[in-house]
Amino acid sequence: MARKVAVVVTARPSYARVKTVLKAVKEHPDLELQLIVAASALLDRYGNVVEVMRADGFEPTMEVHMVVEGETPLTSTKTVGLGIVEMSNVLHHLRPDVVISVADRYETITTAISGAYMNIPVAHIQGGEVTGSIDEKVRHAVTKLSDLHFVANESAATRVEKMEEHKGRIHVTGCPSIDLAAWVIANAEDPGLNASLEVHVRRGVGEEIDPTQSYIICMQHPVTYEWTDAATQVMETLIAVKESGVPCFWFWPNVDAGSDLTSKAIRAYREQNEVRHVHFLKNMPPETFLSLMARSRCIIGNSSAGIREASFLGVPAINIGSRQLGRDCGINVMHVGHDHREIGSALQQQLAHGHYQSDSVYGDGLAGPRIADLLASLPLTTEKKLAY
Amino acid sequence: MARKVAVVVTARPSYARVKTVLKAVKEHPDLELQLIVAASALLDRYGNVVEVMRADGFEPTMEVHMVVEGETPLTSTKTVGLGIVEMSNVLHHLRPDVVISVADRYETITTAISGAYMNIPVAHIQGGEVTGSIDEKVRHAVTKLSDLHFVANESAATRVEKMEEHKGRIHVTGCPSIDLAAWVIANAEDPGLNASLEVHVRRGVGEEIDPTQSYIICMQHPVTYEWTDAATQVMETLIAVKESGVPCFWFWPNVDAGSDLTSKAIRAYREQNEVRHVHFLKNMPPETFLSLMARSRCIIGNSSAGIREASFLGVPAINIGSRQLGRDCGINVMHVGHDHREIGSALQQQLAHGHYQSDSVYGDGLAGPRIADLLASLPLTTEKKLAY
Amino acid sequence: MARKVAVVVTARPSYARVKTVLKAVKEHPDLELQLIVAASALLDRYGNVVEVMRADGFEPTMEVHMVVEGETPLTSTKTVGLGIVEMSNVLHHLRPDVVISVADRYETITTAISGAYMNIPVAHIQGGEVTGSIDEKVRHAVTKLSDLHFVANESAATRVEKMEEHKGRIHVTGCPSIDLAAWVIANAEDPGLNASLEVHVRRGVGEEIDPTQSYIICMQHPVTYEWTDAATQVMETLIAVKESGVPCFWFWPNVDAGSDLTSKAIRAYREQNEVRHVHFLKNMPPETFLSLMARSRCIIGNSSAGIREASFLGVPAINIGSRQLGRDCGINVMHVGHDHREIGSALQQQLAHGHYQSDSVYGDGLAGPRIADLLASLPLTTEKKLAY
Amino acid sequence: MARKVAVVVTARPSYARVKTVLKAVKEHPDLELQLIVAASALLDRYGNVVEVMRADGFEPTMEVHMVVEGETPLTSTKTVGLGIVEMSNVLHHLRPDVVISVADRYETITTAISGAYMNIPVAHIQGGEVTGSIDEKVRHAVTKLSDLHFVANESAATRVEKMEEHKGRIHVTGCPSIDLAAWVIANAEDPGLNASLEVHVRRGVGEEIDPTQSYIICMQHPVTYEWTDAATQVMETLIAVKESGVPCFWFWPNVDAGSDLTSKAIRAYREQNEVRHVHFLKNMPPETFLSLMARSRCIIGNSSAGIREASFLGVPAINIGSRQLGRDCGINVMHVGHDHREIGSALQQQLAHGHYQSDSVYGDGLAGPRIADLLASLPLTTEKKLAY
């Protein structure tokens, strides 16, 4: 009988990170996909990723509405609590053989706790990485609640093992998000992809930008530990982008403690300043986004996309502030502080440099099928001890 | 200004484990105690420990009613979710400078998550230990969510450090539960203590037992991973105790997945068999219990008391099954399986041996004041990285 | 296409009250049954009615675990809140055309609120009755949240109409619980029924009683408004039963604010007094219970069974205290206060009187099919105004 | 000892409706105010009314964060559930002698249920009114859960009584929102009020409008039963306002099922059309708003302000669609459908007519002190029966 694999998608970026896993599980003869869509992935305000998934042929098996509004540390915590209350019921109803918890967003601990407490084996994708915020505590706590670890690279594997996880449970699969980047490179001329790009860059607000010309991309999320500073921080980036004069596709932040402030700051800036060459976008399907990034001259902000997918695509990246601090990086990344002069200067250097060589520090583009095969063949257990 | 220290007590055994911390914090000139009583500590069915606390002079600052009834893995998970929903509000209202999460019961992750997500420093008591159940995942996940670690001994400190926690954040304080054991030894003739013992052994159901004569103690909790076996397992112990003919004080299990089954099995056994020399008790104040244990000839079951406090008191202990597997043990402990013959034979050996030398593997009796001093003096922060 | 009818069963007595509706809906060609089992109906401690339902051929479509332990007004309130959080998700997943809320137990408002707020038509069974506790507020609030009213008799219909509900939405169907009583009378010699009776009266605790001989039945629930008095109240009844010397089948109370106290008081009484001719039972399938009641010489306590089903069966009933105050009654009922002398004296009178004539004040035994037909044919809408 | 009066404020409009009650309770020698701020009143996105309250001298005693994001019927239902879970704890902690539930917003049932179930007397302000949406069910269900009714006028009193509430529990106090309108008339030249008006009309987005010149006001909320139509409906109003050419202060909608759609529709319209003479505002303190309304030439939309406060102020009002259907109205109100021609034509008529005579259909301006006196003197009980 096919093993039932529950995958919980809680946000726009999480979908991009597991899309090829969803596909590989769905198509695997020995696996049955149970797709649980939760949290901001259900919200229109954050791009209604559930509709993107449906368009990609993934029908949600069940939904978990769990976002407590407020975007403060308090409401993020409540979101996790409410998520566990609901997720447990959903897992009880679906009775999966294994449940997949993705990466390190604050709400992903919902999946790990529900699985671990209900004696369902938990597989974690993207453990063992290092960043600089609450994600750090979440990611490693999820590691300790998980039974299987599908990590991006050897250094992640080493860190998971150092935290006393058994070597035999750690598998270097590469990160599934790189699979999409590989697909985009291989299908650069795909007419569907280009049509989608045409459509999506016209959405959103602000001046239209021609994606066949020179442009950059910006994605900046609030940093939980400094959430009251979120507004000031985004302002520095806005100034640097404005002063550069380079056309820019700017993406709204994810739902997170502080994101409301970030969005408000951006809106306020727009009301008071003419921001002529910036187009603000909410969301696009992951491949479309990667295609946009592949053609861009630089990606700036603090999104992990600049570090992960950009390294494979060879796109110059400027990483601002502490959010991605400590992550393994390819040679495409420059690190700067929240200062518009510093950001502006780095931007000039990256524009001058141009694209980099592809770097497979986060995977070789085959993570999805590899993970599906492991899910079909590995022993599944919930018994666990410290390794040594 | 005094630092506000929130301590969350969620169950009868957790109270015993932090009582001297509560006292030391309350009396410390630079600290202010915020006592949050939660989960089964509020329930009459589990001994209404909140009344014991009040009698000891600790008035709850706030209560968190969070136990979802059912005692299955599903309802335990929901309990955690509901707990986070409520605990976050309570912490938001109290705004402590640090919050203490005790040990490894399944619901203690409620405190660690609420604190970590709300940027309140989390101090964990009893990290780095090793057992054999869901507690194992919980304990180490709590370690990864915590900022300060107050551990029982050097081997626990080593384990916490091995999980990539910073050495400077790990403090070997001993376990506060040993403080009570030390107090009981020093106050063996205390009239209040003896009066309390007199009163409490007369409560409960079953034949009366004279605590001045020879007797043993039994405490057996369900093991989460095998909860459907809970009934069978307790039966083996009941048979062994019955056959031994030694008077026995038997304590009902804690609220946990499976505890309902355990209690039911005990009740069914009592209905069908004449169990002449067993007296069933719900609860007593921790010192009274330790005084009862200090005078007992043996403690059997799978409670941590047999391993922790019994080692300091030198009381012979028989540890049954997998629940405490891997814990550091003193020389007073024998390990057996769920088999009444094995249990019975071990009991004969321990009765023949008599009391052991005191062993300070879990502390020297001064943990409470030591922890309070550290809470008053250590820098409090929520920033954290992997150690190496 | 068949209309989807969601029925929410939250407790043992609620099941008895809708069993023939479940059956009629399940068998109706134009209806599809969605059975949601919730609250104490899922709990072993309250008789695990979900197993009884399965044995009757009803498989739960989904479960809602929602009981917050404590049995105080606070935890009952939380139970309702948690229930709404979960029920809404379940209704969202099942998308019924109409949802049925049963009677007036405190947790039934969960169904009415979830349905009303999610624009699903709500049908209420047993509105317009009068009792003397929190049920009173709940029942009438549910009426105001409901779109269709299936009431037991004309006086209930009048009360619903008086509360400004539209006459066209009120249907006198009789109470489905009477359907079971009618079936039991018609099938008094059914071998399955008698075998079930044989089996079930042997369960529980206390002295065995021969159901072919003379006996009475007792069911006493705590009264919410006076919950601290629950212990004292049950004691008076225990004394009266004991003093009467008549064999008695005593049923444990439902999960409710105060029920823990009631159970504890009963247990304490049993420990301290030899209660020779009382057998304590948890639960039995509804028909088996009705068969036991039909043969009993009297039913005492404050359960609605003594007023509703007993009137149809002609069984003498003694109603104690305020819980059923104001309900329409047949001639079989005597009302007394919480006083063992008063109870004892009434019991002597009822035993002397013997069985009464059948009274159809709560229905004629055809409510189930009648309700199913109405659900299949009535217009379903959620628009509503005050009637006049 | 002073009676503790808990008042729960869940939204911007609710604050305006109880502000004079808060003041009168706070100043009453026999009463102690416990202010609970909840739901959208805590959210920045809906005007952060808690800050307005603080500026008015009301410090929240406790907060209840309960809004589940999504603004669909499902998430509104979950909001109620989560609210009950939290509110019960807050009431348990505060132990008020009476709790006040305001009006008929969907989340106000949270207060009524928590109070009723926890045996705390519930006083309801604004029962017995008639509108045309889910509010209708909520309002009357709250009536059945309440013990005291403070209603706006005789016709509301009659409706409450008709629903079988006891006459002695119904008090015609007038609506406290009218108290503010009366104050604004009496203090039209107050410099603080005018300064506040100056400041607040400059906030928000869109073209600036001079409040000393001729202008109208628009407030349009989504109608729950037709939430998918919310976008279309608001569009008709936008067109009518645009075509009229009259400067307009437009207020964003409350948090409600559908409000996200309404806001989105407004934003989309603004992006695509030049809307030259409309200024979009989020919020202002209630008196400032009433002062703005008092000077306006007309208020259009479906807010109750157009019907309640506008009648006292004599401001011409155009009520669009079904949301306020059935409410008692003064002569200042015209009713139209969701059609821009109909709206436009009504607007011309109202502009031509000019201000009306003041009408006290919703109160005489003394409700606050009247309610405080009643709360201090009435017997408080939770026992209740149908009246007749």
pLDDT digits (tens, 9 = 90+) for D266-301: 887 777 777 789 999 987 888 999 999 999 999 999
Residues 6+ away with beta carbon under 8 Å from C382? C116, C119, C120, C121, C122, C147, D225
**Dihedral sign (CA B263, B264, B267, B269):** negative
* Cβ pairs bridging A and C (under 8 Å): 25
Distance CA A104, CA A102 (A): 7
Token output for D310: 């506008």
B65 chain-D contacts, CB cut-off 8 A: 89, 92
Chains with 3+ CB–CB pairs under 8 A to C are: A, B, D
Token pair of B288 as six digits = 């009274």
For C161-205, the pLDDT digits (tens) are 999 999 999 999 999 999 999 999 999 999 999 999 999 999 888
Report the C-alpha gap between A22 and A176 in whole angstroms.
10
State which amino acid sits at residue A149: H
What pLDDT is stored for residue A187 in this prediction? 95
Which residue do the tokens 């376990």 mark? B175
Residue B338 pLDDT level (bands cut at 50, 70, 90): very high
Q: Which helix (H) or strand (E) holds A217?
A: strand A216-219
The Cβ of residue A348 has, within 10 Å, a number of other Cβ atoms equal to 12
- Comparing alpha-carbon positions, the chain C residue that sits nearest to A61 is C93
The sheet carrying B216-219 orders its strands as: B205-206, B278-281, B248-251, B216-219, B299-301, B317-320, B333-336
Q: Inform me whether the C-beta atom of residue D92 falls under 8 Å from chain B C-beta atoms.
A: yes
Q: Chain A residue closest to D74 (CA)?
A: A65
Q: Which of D137, D123, D127, D126 is nearest to D80 (CA)?
A: D137
In chain A, which residues have their Cβ closer than 8 Å to the Cβ of C92?
63, 65
Residue C1: the pLDDT is 84
The average pLDDT across C298-327 equals 93
Which position has the higher pLDDT, B134 or C106?
A: C106
Q: Beta partners for A279?
A: A206, A249
What residues in D contact B63, CB-CB < 8 Å? 89, 92-93
Our measurement of the distance from residue C383's CA atom to the centroid of its chain's CA atoms, rounded to an integer in Å, reads 30
Neighbours of B192 (CB within 10 A): 10
Q: What are the tokens at C100?
A: 């049925």
Using CB atoms, which residue from A44, A78, A264 is nearest to D65?
A: A78
- Distance from the Cα of D53 to chain B's closest Cα (Å) equals 18
pLDDT tens-digit map of B113-128: 999 999 999 999 999 9
Q: How far apart are CA D237 and CA D241, in angstroms?
A: 6
If you average pLDDT over residues C126-154, what whole number do you get? 91
Could you read off the pLDDT tens digit of each residue along chain D, which spans 388 residues? 899 999 999 998 899 899 999 999 999 999 999 999 999 999 987 778 899 899 999 999 999 999 999 988 999 999 999 999 999 999 999 999 999 999 888 999 999 999 999 999 999 999 999 876 677 899 999 999 999 999 999 999 999 999 999 999 999 999 999 999 999 999 999 999 999 999 999 988 888 899 899 999 999 987 755 556 777 888 899 999 999 999 999 998 865 656 667 777 788 777 777 778 999 998 788 899 999 999 999 999 999 899 999 999 999 999 999 888 888 999 999 999 999 999 999 999 999 999 999 999 999 999 999 999 999 999 998 888 777 7
Neighbours of B213 (CB within 10 A): 8
Q: Do B384 and A224 touch (CB under 8 A)?
A: no
- Coil, helix or strand at residue C185: helix
Chains linked to D by 3 or more Cβ pairs within 8 Å: A, B, C
Q: Which of B74, B88, B136 sits opposite A88 (nearest CB)?
A: B74
Closest chain C residue by Cα to residue D131: C385
Pairing of strands D205-206, D278-281: antiparallel
Looking at residue D133, its pLDDT comes to 66
Specify the DSSP element, H or E, that contains C58: none
Q: What is the structure's pLDDT at B289?
A: 94
- Is it the case that residue B229 has pLDDT exceeding 80? no
Q: What tokens does D341 get? A: 């021609």
CA distance A299 to A305: 9
Q: Three-state SS across chain B? A: CCEEEEEEECCHHHHHHHHHHHHHHHHCCCEEEEEEEEHHHHCHHHCCHHHHHHHCCCCCCEEECCCECCCCHHHHHHHHHHHHHHHHHHHHHHCCCEEEEECCCHHHHHHHHHHHHCCCCEEEECCCCCCCCHHHHHHHHHHHHCCEEEECCHHHHHHHHHCCCCHHHEEECCCHHHHHHHHHHHCCCCHHHHHHHHHHHCCCEECCCCCCCCCEEEECCCCHHHHHHHHHHHHHHHHHHHHHCCCEEEECCCCCCCHHHHHHHHHHHHHHCCCCCEEEECCCCHHHHHHHHHHCCCEEECCHHHCCHHHHHCCCEEEECCCCCCCCCCCCEEEECCCHHHHHHHHHHHHHHCCCCCCCCCCCCCHHHHHHHHHHHCCCCCCCCCCC
Cα distances from D270 to residues A205, D234, D241, D278, D279, in angstroms, run: 11, 12, 13, 10, 11
Structure confidence at residue D326 (pLDDT): 82
What is the DSSP-derived secondary structure letter of residue D68?
B
Query: Residue A323: which of A40, A38, A129, A101 has the closest Cα?
Result: A129
What pTM was estimated for this model as a whole?
A: 0.91
Which secondary structure element, helix H or strand E, spans residue D59, and what is its range?
none
| B88:A106 CB<8 A | no
Q: Which residue of D62, D82, D92 is in closest CB contact with B93?
A: D62
Which positions in chain B touch A382 (Cβ < 8 Å)? 225
Q: Which of B92, B90, B71, B128 is nearest to B8 (CA)?
A: B90
**Set of chain D residues whose Cβ sits within 8 Å of the Cβ of B86:** 85-86, 89
Report how far residue C209's alpha carbon sits from residue C199's, in angstroms, rounded to the nearest whole number. Answer: 12
Backbone angles phi, psi at C199, to 5 degrees: -65, -50
* A70 with D65: Cβ contact below 8 A: yes
CA angle, D1 then D3 then D5, to 5°: 155
Greatest mean pLDDT among B318-327, C68-77, D77-86 lies in D77-86
Nearest chain A residue to B92, by CA: A74
**Chain C residues with beta carbon closer than 8 angstroms to that of A62:** 93
What does the alpha-carbon distance between residue C38 and residue C30 come to, in Å, rounded to a whole number?
25
What values do phi and psi take at B369, rounded to 5?
A: -60, -35
- Kindly report which listed range (A74-78, B100-104, D270-274) carries the lowest average pLDDT score: D270-274
Q: Is B95 on the interface with C (CB under 8 A)?
A: no
**Is B239 exposed, middle or buried (CB count within 10 Å of its CB: 0-12, 13-18, 19+)?**
middle
Which chain D residue shows the shortest CA-CA distance from A83?
Answer: D68
Mutation target for D interface from C64, C144, C229, C327: give the one with most D CBs within 10 A. C144
Nearest to B151 by CA among B304, B305, B367, B309: B367
The CA-based angle D308-D310-D314, given to 5 degrees, is: 130
Residue B6 clears pLDDT 90, i.e. is over it: yes
Q: Which positions in chain A touch D68 (Cβ < 8 Å)?
A: 65-69, 82
Which amino acid does the sequence have at C314? G
State both tokens at D189: 């030249």
C118 phi, psi to nearest 5 deg:
-100, 15
Q: Does C168 reach chain D within 8 Å, measured CB to CB? A: no
Q: 3-class SS at D355?
A: coil
Percent of chain B residues past pLDDT 70, beyond the cut:
96
Of C62, C85, C92, the CB nearest to A93: C62
The backbone torsions φ and ψ at residue C207, rounded to the nearest 5 degrees and listed phi first, read -60, 140
Q: Which amino acid is at D240?
A: A
Q: Does any CB of chain D come closer than 8 Å to the CB of residue A276? A: no
Sign of CA dihedral D89, D93, D98, D100: negative
What kind and span of H or E run contains D325? Answer: none
pLDDT of residue D323: 82
Sequence-distant (≥ 6) Cβ neighbours of residue D328 within 8 angstroms: D129, D130, D152, D153, D155, D156, D361, D362
Q: Using CA atoms in the order D87, B51, B107, B370, what is the torsion angle rounded to 10 degrees?
A: 120
Q: Which residues of B touch A115 (CB under 8 A)?
A: none
Mean pLDDT for all residues in chain A: 92
Return the residue matching tokens 């969301």.
A283
| CA distance to partner chain D, nearest, from residue A62 (Å) | 14
In this structure, of C309-318, C326-335, D164-173, the range with the lowest mean pLDDT score is: C326-335
Q: How many percent of chain A have pLDDT more than 70? A: 96
On chain B, the residues whose CB falls within 8 A of the CB of D62 are 93
Cβ A350 vs Cβ A298: under 8 Å:
yes
CB of D124 closer than 8 Å to CB of D142: yes
Burial D309-326 (b: 16+ CB within 10 A, else e): bbbbbbbbbbbbbbbbbe
A118 and B CB contact within 8 Å: yes
How high is the ipTM of this complex? 0.90
Q: What is the pLDDT of residue C354?
A: 96
Chain-centroid distance of CA D164 in Å reads 26
The average pLDDT across B307-328 equals 92
DSSP state of C325: T
Q: Where are the beta strands (DSSP E) in D132-242?
A: 148-151, 170-172, 205-206, 216-219
Decide: helix, strand or coil at residue A97.
coil
Contact C314, C185 (CB under 8 A): no
Radius of gyration of chain C (CA): 20
Cβ–Cβ contact D93 with B under 8 A:
yes
* Element (DSSP H or E) covering residue A162: helix A154-162
Strands of the sheet with D278-281, listed across from one edge: D205-206, D278-281, D248-251, D216-219, D299-301, D317-320, D333-336
The answer, for D264 touching chain A at a CB cutoff of 8 Å, is yes
